[in-house]
Each structure stands twice: as C-alpha cells, then as structure tokens.
C-alpha cells in the first residue's frame, strides 16, 4: 500500500477535508478515492471498504442515490419515532423504502437517544425476571467452556455473577445471547491498557447456574466421558479463547486452529481427549508479556494448535461455534480446504481478507464508542455551568 496518491498530493490516512472534497464535492466513488490514494490490495473491494471506514470514522454520511426522489414528511418521522420507541430497529423501520441511515439521521434530528446494536439486543431479551437454567447437558457444557475460557464467574450474594470484558461487538452479542434470557445484562465502558477502552458486560444468574463455579479440571473430567458434551465444551472454549487463521507456508498456505490459555493442565487434558477422538494437536508454551493486562504479571501461556489439514477440517466440522466472527472464519476455512481449484481458493482468500477488514473496522468502532461513552460519563464537573 502506498502512503501517497498517484497525484502526489494526498497522504494516507486521509484528512476529513480531503475526503469531503473528493466524496461530497467531486462525487468520486469510494473505489476511485482508493485509487487516488494508491491503496493496493489483492481485492478492490478491500480498498473500497477501507475508504468507506474512513468516511464513517470522519463522520461523513454515505450518499443515498434515492434521496432526491423521497419526500420525508413530519408525519412520516412521527411514525418512525413511535416505532423506534416501541423497540423496532432502524432496519425494521426502514423496510424497502428507505435506508437505515436515513431513519437514523431523522431520529437524531428529533433528539432521540439512539440505541446501539448491543444495547438494542439487551433490551430485546431482558424484559423479564431472572430465570433458572433451562438447557440440557450439551448446553451446560457449552456455557462452562465459554465461561472457563474468557469470563470471570463469582458468587455474588444469592446470585452467580458472570463478567466479561471485550473489544469485539460479536463477543458482546454472544454474551447477551447466552445469558440475556436468564438475567439482566449490564454493559458499561471502561479504560484498559491494551486498547485504551473496552466494554464490560455482567449478569447475575440464579442458583441453577452454580455449575459454572466448578473448576475446569472437574468439568473436563465429567464432559470427557461423552464425545458430545466434550465437543460442546470445546466449542464454548474455542468461542472464548480460540482462533481460526490462515498460515502462510512458502508460496501457499492453509488454515489452522489455535486455543490460548494460561491453564496449561486444561489444555493438556483437551489435547488428550482430542487424540482419543483421532485428532492430532500440539501445545507450545510462551512467556506471558509483562503488563499485557495493565499490570505486571509473570507466567506462562499455552497455545494448543491443530494444523494438519484433515484434523482442522474434522475439528471445525465437529464444533458448533456460535461466535459469529469465528463461525464465518470457520466456514471460509472449510470451503478453502475442501477444494483444490486454485481460482476458487483465491476467491475464498479474497473473501477472507474482506472478512478480516470488516472485523477490524467493527472492533475499532466498538472501542471508539466505548471511549466516547466513557468520557461522556466522566466529564470534569464545570462549576460555572
């Protein structure tokens, strides 16, 4: 990627003034702006998506080609306000006649406090009292794997409190999906060392969720007795701590699965059970970086990897992943490894690049939102106002 454009005047990242001139005044498309800046990716859509992200980041609304033929009256906006207050999403209100962006702008002009996607989902699933666990052993195994992987679970009075911190909207959505029907999910922004800001989500569950308090060693011993419960546990653990990634090897490459955790014995037990199921893996141990979590913490972190193609395919087929980003990665990885057509494989890798870029943009937006809301809640008191 070039830092300067073909014109020799534009520098990346772009300024808001340059974007407004190119996009709003000169009416250039995102693709042509990418060309002007000399952005070079294997797929033109990646470059276009990068420009669209910069437009969004700088508060520049995308053009709507049909705006000139639509007449939005005050009566129409009144209807939109009522539907939004009743809980409908921007997409539901927009339907086929308008874009969600159009709805958003008119509601904001009316001064409505707009919900973000995660908050809207929380509102949709938490209009009830705390309820008992309703799932079976498979669901219980998944929840244990997920919480052991990336959650803090403690006893809080008579409740079982589950907490998670994240910078990924997909992880926040998954947390709501898992626990929102059993208790009220609270969400708030906070400062953190790695990214500056992140989101913290927590929920208080009733005593029927006490199984989440068991040690990882105990639950693994229980769930390893059945392939179905073990694979459900591993799916939750992978959704929390795992990753699917493309590993470049020479002129080619392939996909691998990795799961990182500081609990070395648990990774070893997972490796043993995977071997019993006929799937090969390896574990490597690394020194954990100091101040990684915002405070000095020495120790080791283990990484279990599945890299043989037949094993990666089988494990991804066996795991019912629910994390939308990881499920999308797994689907592309399977599609890639189950074909030998070079053209098809290249197309899949193009889709992979676009997916990674989309995930990165969503994450940056989520962090930016956390920063904005945190600073808004912690503004210094002005004695003169």
pLDDT in the model for residue 352:
93
Q: Which residue has the higher pLDDT, 371 or 105?
A: 371
Q: What's the whole-number mean pLDDT along residues 34-45?
A: 77
Q: What's the whole-number mean pLDDT along residues 222-250?
A: 92
Q: What percent of the chain has pLDDT over 70?
A: 85
- Tell me the sheet residues that pair with 165: 200
CA quadruple 40, 46, 47, 48: dihedral positive or negative?
positive
State the pLDDT confidence band at 252, using cuts at 50, 70 and 90. Answer: confident
CA quadruple 49, 95, 372, 292: dihedral positive or negative?
negative
Read off the pTM. Answer: 0.70
- C-alpha 357/C-alpha 213 separation (Å) is 37
State pLDDT tens for residues 190-230.
Answer: 999 888 899 999 999 999 999 999 988 888 888 988 999 99
pLDDT in the model for residue 356:
92
pLDDT in the model for residue 294:
47
Evaluate if residue 327 carries a pLDDT over 90.
Answer: yes
State the pLDDT confidence band at 38, using cuts at 50, 70 and 90. Answer: confident
- C-alpha 240/C-alpha 234 separation (Å) is 10
State pLDDT tens for residues 281-297.
Answer: 999 988 766 444 444 44
Evaluate if residue 123 carries a pLDDT over 80.
Answer: no
pLDDT in the model for residue 67:
46
Contacts of 238 (CB under 8 A, 6+ apart): 145, 149, 257, 259, 319, 321, 326
Q: Which residues of 305-332 are buried (b: 16+ CB within 10 A; e: fewer)?
A: bbbbeebbbbbbebbebbbbbbbbbbbb
Q: Which of 105, 92, 100, 98 is nearest to 60 (CA)?
A: 105
State pLDDT tens for residues 144-202.
Answer: 999 999 899 999 888 999 999 999 999 999 999 999 989 989 999 999 988 889 999 99
pLDDT in the model for residue 380:
61
Evaluate if residue 313 carries a pLDDT over 80.
Answer: yes
State the pLDDT confidence band at 325, using cuts at 50, 70 and 90. Answer: very high
Average per-residue pLDDT for the chain? 84
């Amino acid at each position: 990627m070039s830092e300067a454009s073909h014109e020799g005047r534009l520098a990346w990242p772009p300024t808001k003034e340059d974007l407004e001139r190119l996009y709003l005044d000169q009416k250039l498309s995102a693709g042509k702006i990418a060309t002007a800046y000399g952005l070079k990716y294997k797929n033109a859509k990646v470059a276009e998506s990068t420009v669209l992200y910069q437009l969004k980041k700088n508060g520049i609304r995308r053009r709507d080609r049909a705006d000139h033929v639509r007449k939005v009256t005050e009566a129409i906006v009144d209807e939109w306000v009522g539907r939004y207050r009743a809980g409908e999403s921007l997409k539901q209100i927009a339907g086929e006649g308008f874009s969600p962006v159009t709805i958003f702008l008119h509601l904001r002009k009316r001064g409505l406090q707009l919900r973000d996607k995660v908050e809207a989902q929380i509102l949709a699933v938490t209009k009830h009292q705390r309820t008992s666990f309703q799932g079976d052993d498979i669901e219980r195994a998944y929840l244990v794997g997920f919480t052991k992987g990336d959650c803090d679970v403690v006893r809080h009075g008579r409740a079982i409190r589950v907490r998670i911190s994240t910078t990924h909207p997909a992880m926040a959505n998954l947390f709501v999906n898992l626990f929102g029907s059993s208790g009220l999910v609270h969400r708030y922004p906070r400062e953190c060392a790695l990214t500056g800001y992140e989101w913290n989500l927590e929920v208080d569950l009733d005593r029927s969720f006490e199984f989440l308090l068991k040690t990882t060693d105990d639950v693994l011993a229980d769930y390893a007795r059945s392939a179905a419960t073990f694979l459900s546990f591993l799916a939750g653990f992978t959704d929390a701590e795992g990753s699917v990634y493309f590993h470049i090897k020479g002129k080619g490459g392939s996909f691998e699965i990795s799961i990182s955790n500081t609990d070395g014995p648990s990774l070893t037990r997972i490796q043993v059970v995977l071997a019993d199921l006929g799937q090969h893996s390896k574990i490597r141990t690394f020194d954990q970086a100091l101040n990684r979590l915002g405070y000095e913490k020495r120790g080791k972190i283990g990484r279990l990897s599945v890299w043989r193609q037949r094993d990666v395919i089988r494990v991804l087929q066996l795991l019912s992943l629910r994390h939308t980003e990881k499920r999308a990665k797994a689907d592309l990885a399977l599609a890639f490894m189950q074909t030998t057509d070079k053209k098809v494989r290249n197309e899949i890798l193009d889709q992979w690049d676009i997916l990674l870029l989309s995930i990165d943009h969503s994450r940056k937006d989520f962090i930016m939102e956390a920063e904005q809301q945190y600073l808004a809640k912690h503004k210094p008191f002005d004695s003169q106002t």
